[in-house]
Amino acid sequence: DAKTTQPNSMESNEEEPVHLPCNHSTISGTDYIHWYRQLPSQGPEYVIHGLTSNVNNRMASLAIAEDRKSSTLILHRATLRDAAVYYCILRAYNNDMRFGAGTRLTVKP
């Protein structure tokens, strides 16, 4: 399985942008880059995913490096509700999704 590397934790101030990095240097050409988050006492929640191009949705933006060896999840204006563990995961058609340890995001008021 292609692995991802994320910082253990990050802090942000409320209403400021947050950039959550993820390295995946062994990514293969058919791996999709997925981001999920897990709020306290809840199940994982889908945030965004992409293959090669940058993606935007109502929750976040995903910036994918040209060589696809890294990506960044961008929360444009962090709120207290965005405090969660964020997981960067590679998904391939021949393997099912595995979670790593993720990045614990703390949002300060």
Partner 1 sequence: EPEVTQTPSHQVTQMGQEVILRCVPISNHLYFYWYRQILGQKVEFLVSFYNNEISEKSEIFDDQFSVERPDGSNFTLKIRSTKLEDSAMYFCASGLDRANSPLHFGNGTRLTVT
**DSSP character for 3?**
-
Nearest to 22, CA basis, from 31, 13, 14, 34: 34
Give yes or no for a contact between 97 and 89, defined as CB atoms under 8 angstroms apart.
Answer: yes
Q: Which is nearer to partner 1, 34 or 68 (CB)?
A: 34
Q: Which is nearer to partner 1, 13 or 57 (CB)?
A: 57
Residue located via tokens 């995961």: 89
- Return residues touching partner 1 (CB under 8 A): 30-32, 34, 36, 38, 42-46, 49, 51, 87, 91-93, 95-102
Q: Which is nearer to partner 1, 18 or 34 (CB)?
A: 34
